[in-house]
Structure 1
Amino acid sequence: MEKNLIEITTLCSHYEIEFSFIDALYQTGLIQIVIIEQDQFIHQDQISDLEKMIRLHHELNVNIEGIDVVFNLLEKEKALRDELNALRNRLRLYEND
């Protein structure tokens, strides 16, 4: 699992962001941080979401609370899309009879 982790200091220097931004995302619950021997890491699966959050913050000046709202709405939209697909599949079962 450790090979799938990326150190936060590396991310901060690569994306040219402050650690306080990462910490604020963590405090809000938008990302998960893994601590191993005093070093903090983010799992590589979270990188795409982190990049979206960085773009929202820097390019659109969206604050942390706004980013939280955007990601909650995106989650709800995905759940509704999944539900719609499931209902369409069930409807097809009845249409084929």
Structure 2
Amino acid sequence: METDLIIVREYCQKSHVDPSFIVSLEEDGLIDIREVDGERYLLESQLRDLERFVRWHEDLSVNIEGIGVIHELMGRLHEMQHELDQLRREVRVFRSNHFGYWEE
């Protein structure tokens, strides 16, 4: 079996997560479950997001819909931060090309 797959049943047992929570995340498109020979698997690459979703749900009592909204907003925030960083680099280049130095 591929090493980048985690058995959902085992993850739920070890993490004390209700399997129905995992199913709800999948139904809302927040995670992707693969089925191989009747066994359901999580992609290892999704583990970080899954653990974040579990914390939001258990520690903050955020429902599945709220998790989806927060996840989307955090993605947008990340994109905006990346764009801001890019614009800052471009301004530095512009100033250094036009003024010969950069003042901060």
Same fold by TM-score greater than 0.5: yes
Query: Which has the greater radius of gyration?
Result: 2
Residue type of the alignment partner of 1:81: Q
Letter of the structure 1 residue corresponding to residue 63 of structure 2: N
Unaligned 5+ residue runs, structure 1?
Answer: none
* Aligned twin of 1:68: 68
Q: Deviations over 1:31-61 (max 9, x none)?
A: 0111111111111111111111111111111
- Alpha-carbon distance between aligned partners in 1 of 2:95 and 2:36, rounded to the nearest angstrom: 55
Residue 100 of structure 2 corresponds to which residue in structure 1? none
Gaps of at least 5 residues in structure 2 are: 98-104
- In structure 2, distance between residues paired with 1:86 and 1:25: 33
Task: Give the drift of 1:6.
Answer: 0.4
How many Å separate the matches in 2 of 1:52 and 1:70?
A: 11
Match of 1:83 in 2: 83
% identical aligned pairs: 34
How does the TM-score come out when normalised to structure 1? Answer: 0.95
Query: Runs of at least 4 residues of structure 1 off by over 6 A?
Result: none
* Residues 1:51 and 2:34 are matched in the alignment: no
Work out the number of aligned pairs and report it: 97
Alignment TM-score, normalising by the size of structure 2: 0.89
**What RMSD over aligned residues (CA atoms) do the two structures have, in Å?**
1.1
User: Aligned equivalents of 1:91 and 1:83: distance in 2?
Assistant: 12
